[in-house]
Amino acid sequence: MGSPNDITQMLGDWSRGDEAAGERMAPLVFDELRAISRRLLRGERPSHTLQPTALVNEAFERLVQVEVDWQDRAHFFAFSARLMRRILINHAERRSTEKRGGDRIVVSLTQGEAFAGPETDAALIELHEAIEALAAYDDRKARLIELQYFGGLTVEEMAHVENMSPSTVTRDLRFARAWLKDRLRPKE
């Protein structure tokens, strides 16, 4: 696997129109994108129609069509995570034709398990709505949640992407997790 600096260099070359750089980079980032997609799909029902490889392929298809001046590897994976989250939300919304019932939806906010439970389409949509509400309250904290849970970025990578100190990232994540847990708590 290429080093983060190699990937950053290839991303820059690709942004400037070097298609060969994009082709060299693809296999280097594919495994990491697959790990992100597996993390996103963990806890989904076994019959889920979107598999990790399909999610990565759809995301990569969209990535090659977008014109972005990639800053570095962390920026690329942050953007990819947002894109995969959007694909999953769209997929869940298409599948969710009936209104959510009164069943309790369990949403875990531990890293690596963005959502889990028997009603995962509804849970994903509810999590998405909660993150959108958090974004209306504090966009930066919502972006950090997205980067950590959907992108799997480390505190240091998030600090770099968001141009913040790691201690501020940690503090903001602590607040955002508490805010989301309160928002997602079943109403009595």
Task: Please count the structural domains in the chain.
Answer: 1
pLDDT in tens, 32-69: 888 878 777 765 555 556 777 888 888 888 887 888 88
Burial of 22 (0-12, 13-18, 19+ CB in 10 A): middle
Of the listed ranges 60-74, 102-116, 158-172, the one predicted with least confidence: 102-116
Distance CA(156)–CA(161), nearest Å, equals 9
Return the pLDDT at 101: 46
pLDDT in tens, 121-158: 777 788 888 999 999 999 999 999 988 887 778 899 88
Residues 120-124: contacts with CB under 8 Å, at least 24 apart: 120/43, 120/44, 120/45, 120/48, 120/92, 121/92, 121/95, 121/96, 122/92, 122/96, 124/88, 124/89, 124/92
Question: 157 with 74: CB under 8 angstroms?
Answer: yes
Q: Which domain holds residue 51?
A: 4-184
